[in-house]
Amino acid sequence: MSFSYLAGLTEAQKYAVTFGEGPLLVLAGPGSGKTRVITCRIAFLLEAGIRPDQILALTFTNKAAQEIVDRVVSLTGQKGIWIGTFHGFCARLLRRYARLVGLEENFTIYDEGDSLRVLRRAVERAQFPLVSHSLSDVAAAIHRAKNQLQLPEFFMPKDSAVPLELWRQVYAAYQEELRRQNAVDFDDLLLHVARILGEHPDIRGELDDRFRFILVDEYQDTNLAQYAIARALAIDYPNLTVTGDPDQSIYRWRGATLRNILEFEKDYPHVTVVRLEENYRSTGRILRVADALIARNRLRKPKHLFTRNPEGRPVRVLIFKSEQEEALGIAEEISRAVSSRQRRFRDFAVFFRLNVLSRPLETAFRQSGVPYQVVNGTEFFRRKEIQDLLAYLRIVVNPRDDEAFARICQTPPRTFGVRTLDRIREFARQRGLSLAEAIQEEDLFRELSPRMRKPLCEFAEMLRKLMEIPYGGAEAFVRTILDQSGYLQYLKAEGTPEAQERLANVEEFISVTRQFDLRHPGGGSLEQFLEEVALASDPDRWDETDDCVALMTLHAAKGLEFPVVYIVGLEQGLLPYEDSWRDMEELEEERRLLFVGITRAREELTLTRAVYREFRGQRRLTIPSPFLLELPRGEVEIEDRSEEQVGFVLEATSPVEERGQNFDLARGPECFLKQEENPRKPEGRLYLAKELLPHEADKSATEVPVTAGSLVLHVDHGLGRVVEVAEDEGEWLEVEFFALGRHLRLSPTDPRIRILPRKNT
């Protein structure tokens, strides 16, 4: 009982940490200590006498949750708070209240693959035509609906050639199929819980009473369903603390909405808003680069952020010839820094927009003897052999899991295949049975060719045996399964190099089960194991105490920090991704993504790009990311290591400069985009969130007038300048593309171009 950690906090942080009862909104920039506030606040509440099980903390990844727990334990010695991701928390609740939504406690959590297979059958059954919409369109529509808490009856997909009634039928059929299989998809975890809380006031009241203090980190990336859940639990005891940074919202595509911040203020009119303005993480230079970049976003309110950290070294932009050289260049720098004992491997992180970009890095790191970890915990579990293995476990826990049944039927290969499986499905559907039940039925064999009888009976027998395996820890169980199912034998018999790799993965899977057993000394159930696997987040399996370089996507980097950061692939089409720049909101999310990456760096930051990059086996010339042009020239050091005379080199010695006319060379890239005057907010600590968020009106202020001299960015040809505009302004533009060396006549509404705002307009 010391409260000693309070001494290490700023006044603003201390205010938030020691805030008593009532709603609290902490809106602050990167590295300002939001997570620290959450952690210390939990410790504070515990020391103030709140029981651990009355505290609920919701984080973005399991890893983040674990870190907070460890820290809280080291500060207070107390355990037993409720902490996890929204999905994890909801799964836990749903186990308890499963019956209320037609499920049983042992329900399975389906991943996207399983969900899509279920949906495919729902689409067939509802006779939904997959003409104007693909299966994944339907999946996306349902996903959106669920995140908006829309049930099938209220499903309102945006206008489509398909009648509304049909949409509702597919959605309903999909839900019915999931329920039949005693399964949920990811979104159902939230939807079902939100529904239970909404429809059962007694349960809501009981849980509200139970969770006296609720804290949500990374609040800017919550969706409507998540907010509804947090809100429902904080009505009688409105002690809800949320922390977030609108500039770090990078999951809009998954339903996250900043509206939640505004809703929060509406639902809790007496909310206290705390701003943290001091960054403790990055050097002055890194922070200024980050700030200049994010200032380009229009749908944003400016935020004041300063640091007392040293200026540090300049941010670098490195240009390489190819992705191989990019990767090797980074590997060499890391090697050098480590061998000269300036750094350790674990001081470094490399971020990329797309997972595939890790490939060349991995190759180069292996070649250079640089140890690394790819931080993608979920990918491992998506491998076929792992999914197969998991299917064996799943069917034992939930025999109604038809997706697992279907997988098991197919690997190892048995003497019956998909066709027979379809027949069994049909039979099962007619009688309302699960597949596992169906193959026990004598009647089934009358509908199948007699040849199928023997293999099916053998299969049924194997299943029965699996079900009877006594459970004594996950590892022992999986070993038995591997043996009895014949899976291990099947892989060994293959003998191909791929099979070897699969065997290695199976080995690794066993070690995952071993770690699970160790983590749960009392004996974690199989159900629990499957849930952990299903809800794993990418950084979970990353061990930061291991001395190696961390490789991860920009998304996975959220919330982390490293002394030295590299961000690769700053190219049009990668970052910003594809055609996201056509839509301002999407482009701004891409910019925020880069902003998140930049602000992970404590001391050194390097952005890189390659002049050529291999794409689908083709070597292609790349276009630099327009974001590079948005970095303040005075703060960055550009170094061209490509030795290439071709390509779009907008930095340093560019064809743009040679042609000069319209460019203000002194101001460098600054002249490309208009710098918005960001009015500073009056000093003080307490603000309304409204002031920190964009006004609706800002969104319409995006029309850019086009005249001769306007700059145009083309998706294929890069930068150009308008030389002539049609009499009737809407008709055409004559654009001179610098890298192309000639004029093109384009429509001003051509989706491939974007008109850049001019200076002083």
Ligand X SMILES: Nc1ncnc2c1ncn2[C@@H]1O[C@H](COP(=O)(O)OP(=O)(O)OP(=O)(O)O)[C@@H](O)[C@H]1O
Partner DNA sequence: CCGGCCGAAATTTTT
Partner DNA sequence: TTTCGGCCGG
471 binds, among ligand X, DNA, none (CB under 5 to 8 A by kind): none
Using the contact rule CB under 7 A, the part of the chain among 79-87, 93-101, 364-372, 692-700 near DNA is: 79-87
Query: Which of 258, 535, 565, 755 is in the footprint of DNA by CB under 7 A?
Result: 535
Q: How far is the CB of 409 from ligand X (least distance, A)?
A: 45
Helix 384-397 / helix 402-410 crossing angle, nearest 10 deg? 130
Residue (43 or 375) nearer to DNA, CB: 375
Q: Is 307 in the site for ligand X (CB under 6 A)?
A: no
Residue (84 or 720) nearer to DNA, CB: 84
Query: Which of 617, 660, 684, 741 is in the footprint of DNA by CB under 7 A?
Result: 617
Q: Is 580 in the site for ligand X (CB under 6 A)?
A: no
Q: How far is the CB of 629 from DNA (least distance, A)?
A: 21
Cα(613)–Cα(575) distance, integer angstroms: 14
Residue (40 or 57) nearer to DNA, CB: 57
Radius of gyration over alpha carbons of the chain, in Å? 28
Among the listed residues 93, 89, 88, 121, the one whose alpha carbon sits nearest the alpha carbon of residue 105: 93
Q: In the 3-class helix/strand/coil scheme, how is 200-226 assigned residue by residue?
A: CHHHHHHHHHHCCEEEECCHHHCEHHH
Site residues for DNA, window 336-395 (CB under 7 A)? 353-356, 376-378
Q: Is 108 in the site for DNA (CB under 7 A)?
A: no
Using the contact rule CB under 7 A, the part of the chain among 13-21, 46-54, 199-207, 531-539 near DNA is: 531-539
Query: Which of 2, 8, 686, 699 is in the footprint of ligand X by CB under 6 A?
Result: 8
Q: How far is the CB of 682 from ligand X (least distance, A)?
A: 23
φ and ψ at 38, to 5 degrees? -55, -50
Encoded tokens for 325 = 């050289």
| E-strand stretches of 86-175 | 108-109
Site residues for ligand X, window 96-135 (CB under 6 A)? none
Encoded tokens for 285 = 């230079």
Site residues for DNA, window 439-458 (CB under 7 A)? 449
Counting every residue, how long is the chain?
A: 761
Place of tokens 């160790």: 518
Site string (598-627) toward ligand X, x via CB under 6 A: -x----------------------------
Using the contact rule CB under 6 A, the part of the chain among 8-16, 372-380, 562-570, 709-717 near ligand X is: 8-16
Q: Is 35 a catalytic residue?
A: yes
Place of tokens 């950061």: 565
Residue (40 or 594) nearer to DNA, CB: 594
Q: Is 280 in the site for ligand X (CB under 6 A)?
A: yes
34 binds, among DNA, ligand X, none (CB under 5 to 8 A by kind): ligand X
* Cis upstream peptide for 521 (omega within 30°): no
Cα(320)–Cα(340) distance, integer angstroms: 24
Catalytic residue among 34, 144, 288, 400: 34
Helix 112-125 / helix 135-147 crossing angle, nearest 10 deg? 110
* Cis upstream peptide for 450 (omega within 30°): no
Cα(76)–Cα(71) distance, integer angstroms: 9
Cα(73)–Cα(94) distance, integer angstroms: 27
Q: Are 249 and 258 in contact (CB under 8 A)?
A: yes
Q: Is 34 in the site for ligand X (CB under 6 A)?
A: yes
**By three-state DSSP, how is residue 567 classified?**
strand
Site residues for DNA, window 199-258 (CB under 7 A)? 253-254
Among the listed residues 244, 196, 190, 222, the one whose alpha carbon sits nearest the alpha carbon of residue 16: 244
Q: Is 750 a catalytic residue?
A: no
Residue (30 or 573) nearer to ligand X, CB: 30
Spatial CB neighbours of 584, under 8 Å, sequence gap ≥ 6? 298, 299, 699, 702
490 binds, among ligand X, DNA, none (CB under 5 to 8 A by kind): none
Binding interface with DNA (CB under 7 A): 60-61, 85-88, 112, 186, 253-254, 353-356, 376-378, 413-420, 423, 449, 535-539, 553, 555-556, 577-578, 580, 616-617
Residues catalogued as catalytic: 34-35, 217-218, 248, 600
